[in-house]
Every structure is written in C-alpha cells, then in structure tokens.
Amino acid sequence: MAFFYDEPSRTFSEYLLLPNLTRKECIPENVSLSTPLVKFKKGETPKLQMNIPIVSAIMQAVSDNNVAVALSRCGGVSFIFASQSIEAQSNMVRKVKKYKSGFVISDANITPESTLNEVIQTIERTGHSTIAVTEDGTPTGKLAGILTSRDYRLSRCSSDQKVKEFMTPFSSLIYGNDGITLTEANDIIWENKLNCLPIVDNKQNLVYLVFRKDYDSHKENPNELLDENKSFMTGAGINTKDYKQRVPALVEAGVDILCIDSSDGYTEWQGETIKWIKETYNDEVKVGGGNVVDKEGFLYLVECGADFVKVGIGGGSICITREQKGIGRGQASSLIEVASARDEYFEKTGIYVPICSDGGIVHDYHITLSLAMGANFVMMGRYFARFDESPTLKLKMGNNYVKEYWGEGSNRARNWERYDLGGGQKLAFEEGVDSYVPYAGKLKDNLDITLHKIKSTMCNCGSISIEEFQRTARLTLVSSTSIIEGGAHDVILKEKNIFVNE
C-alpha cells in the first residue's frame, strides 16, 4: 500500500513568525546575511560563501551575464541558464569573469567621420552623453578622441558637421594604459578633475572607460561577491545529458559553481552526473543537485557528493508540474523536512550541506520564512525577470510596462534535457507556461528594499545572523481568517495616482 503523510502539504503563506526579544544591538545595520554556498566540515570555513542569501534561477528569461554581474555586485550568485549551446553559455561566463568592476566596455561609439546628427541619434539610443570616437566605430578600435556635451552646442553647430571637427582629440586626452588598477585609474581621475578616463593598449586601441561616477557606485556596493582575482563570481546550470562536454567548457571559462537544472533531482542520472564531476575534478569543482522534496531525495544527492541541495517541485509561478503530473509538495513542508534531514546528517557526520529553497516565494517575507525554516539561501526566477538587467523584452501593455517570462518546461524554452527520463529529444507535454511579469526597474533598487525587509524582520525576532535566526525563530500556523485579518480590511482605501494632467 502507498505511504501517506499525515500532515497536509503546506505553503509559506500558512505560516507567520512570532517576535522574540529585540535586543538593543538588533538593528538592520548590524544584521549579517552571509551564508554558506557549499558544504563544509564542522569547525571549518566553507570554500564558497555569499554575502546575501539569494541566487537567481537557471532560466532563459532570468539569468544571463547581465543579471550575473548585477547580482554578484549585490552579494549573491546567478546561475546562467543551461538551455543554450555550450559555447554561448561559456561565453556568458567569460563575460562575467572578465567584467572588471569600474572598468566599462564602451557601448556608445562613433567614427571621426560621423556627423553631429549621428551623435544625437547615438545618445538617444544608448542614453550615454560620453561617446568614444574610434577609427572604425567599434568599442575596441583605435581611439581617435572623446566626445562629451561640452564639445558642441546644438544651437551653434550644424547637424552635418563632422565629429572630427569638434571632438577632443586623442592628443589632448589624459588616458591610462591597459593593466592599470582601478585605484590608480581613480587617482588619475581625481587628480586631473576628469569625468572619464579612457584605457588604451600599446596600439592605442580602446580597452575600457573608467568613470568618476562609478567610484561612488563601487562604494555603494560593499557586499560585492568577488573571487580571489577580484572578478565577479558566477554560477552556471548544467543538465544530465551533455555534462561531459559542457562542464569542461564552463570550468575553462572560469565558472565558480555549477548546479544541475532538473525538475526532479532524485534520479540515477543526476547521481551519475555529480559523481562524474567529483571524480573528474578531484572534488575541486563545486556542484549543487536537486530538486528534492523529502529526506530520501536529500540524502541520495548528498551521498553522491552534492555540495548543496535544491528543494522544491512545482512551486514556481510559471511551473505547472503539479497540475500536469500530480507530483510535488508544498514548499514549506518540503523545506521543513529537508532542513531537519540536513541537521540530522550534520550531527551524524560533521558535514554541513547547505540547502536552497527554490519556488513558492510570492512576497518578500516568504524569503525570511524560508530562512527561518532552515534554508541557507533561496533561488528566485519571477523576482529577477522583472528587472532591467534580465534578458527578456520590456513591453507596454495598456498603461503599464511588463517583461516576458516563461518557464524552462514550456515549449518556448525547448529545454527537454531538464525533464529527461531517458526518452526522446523533445517535450511530450509542457510543465511550464509563457507569461508576463510587471516591470519593476533596476535590480539593485528592488533588492535593497527586499534585503532591508529581511533584516528588519530578523531584528524583530531577536537575531543578527541567519544561523542565530534559524536557531531561535518561532513560527505558527495561520488560519484562513487570520490571513484576512493580516491585510488591510474594513476600510475604504484611497486611490493612488488620482492626479490627471489636463
């Protein structure tokens, strides 16, 4: 006879935190959100840690090199999507690793023969007022000069006037040589009262631009997650089909950590993949496994060598696995059981294996609940798909802007490898949908608010670290009526944005 769980399958929205004594030291500025990313032995420091407990999902509509840089700058890790060619994914990893904080590859470029009218078009297209003038108009061409708004006046210059007639020529520029450090570049900028310092190689080809404004940006991101070479850290997804070709390419590109992208991680295919990586690279390459929803799945992947385990099946906003296949479990129930198994395994072996909660997050406070329930970090897709940095199109629908968002189990993603059960190279049916999400602006602006909410709640619970929070947090189940009580009720809400421009 089949096994039946006595407890119902529960979601995050069925729980609330109870406050503990808020000590005077419990203020958001004192809260540390650092968390282990990979397994470690008792008394040791994990080889990879994050400064915030958040990673982005292995999805076409979410995690490319732009999100990877933006999230790493804030202290988290992005897992660049695997449902693309090995070469394309490896190139995305290289872009992240080669990206130098403060060193910008010019994306507003023209030639000396361009006209003022073309300058205006370039500014409108890129939004940048500082334009590099290269001989061939490329970001890495021979630098002929720099053009800023101080070099021309629209009221006094003809629209067909050539750039070479009013640009600041290379001979008049102060520049840095390739290999210069960011500190040295900023010193030159400040000593010479510059807004922009071009960096060139020994053939006068443009390499980077360093801006005065980016100095402040660097200071505003104290949580930047950097490797030993001071490059941004990034992860990448893999599958259980072409891993023997994909993993070496990603490792060569400089990836920091891998994660198998699968809707169901409790499989021999995933076990074989993890074991191959561990044996081939002598445990030097770190890889996460999943997804699982119970103790058995967790222990299976851990025994195979997983460095972290991802928890959750069917809880994503675009995932319809439960609807299509009747398989999965409420995210809260899954997380509570796996966290208990993780702690039990740690007590037994002295090895701590971090767990990642993937799915089921609707509100910011759900992240905090997942941490209290034992997650070391959360993986989110919809959350990041809304931002400027995500790879999807921004569209206008009615009076609002939206961004496209689709599941890896949708026909659009064509990611049959993620759902591989030893069959043919196609999706027999969809386990994800194609949708839109409300556009929300810049990643950092939104993430800063989310992190402040997490820290504030932890302070209410008398905790200033995730480890303390998990040890002392108290949770209670809520009734349907208490959920209603928790929101605005029995009032007439004032309308927002009621002013109309006549």
Please give the positions annotated as active site: 319, 418
Residue 373: strand, helix, or coil: coil
Helix axes 65-74, 86-98, angle to 10 degrees: 40
Residue 99's identity, in one-letter code, is: Y
Calpha distance 305→315 (Å, rounded): 26
Residue 137: strand, helix, or coil: coil
For residue 414, what are the contacts with CB-CB under 8 A and spacing of at least 6?
83, 427
Residue 227's identity, in one-letter code, is: D
Helix count and strand count (H, E) for the chain: 15, 24
- ∠ CA 401-403-405, rounded to 5°: 150
Tokens 């619970």 belong to 461
Residue (of 365, 362, 343, 364) closest to 354 by Cα position: 343
Q: What DSSP element (H or E) covers 379?
A: strand 377-380
Residue 486 class from Cβ within 10 Å (0-12 exposed, 13-18 middle, 19+ buried)? exposed
442 close to 388: Cβ distance less than 8 angstroms:
yes
143 close to 201: Cβ distance less than 8 angstroms:
no
Neighbouring C-beta atoms of residue 186, cutoff 10 Å: 18
Calpha distance 124→322 (Å, rounded): 46
Q: What is the DSSP letter of 123?
A: H
Dihedral in degrees, nearest 10, Cα atoms 84, 88, 94, 96: -50
Residue 482: strand, helix, or coil: helix
Which pair of tokens denotes residue 357? Answer: 């909660």
For residue 136, what are the contacts with CB-CB under 8 A and spacing of at least 6?
111, 142
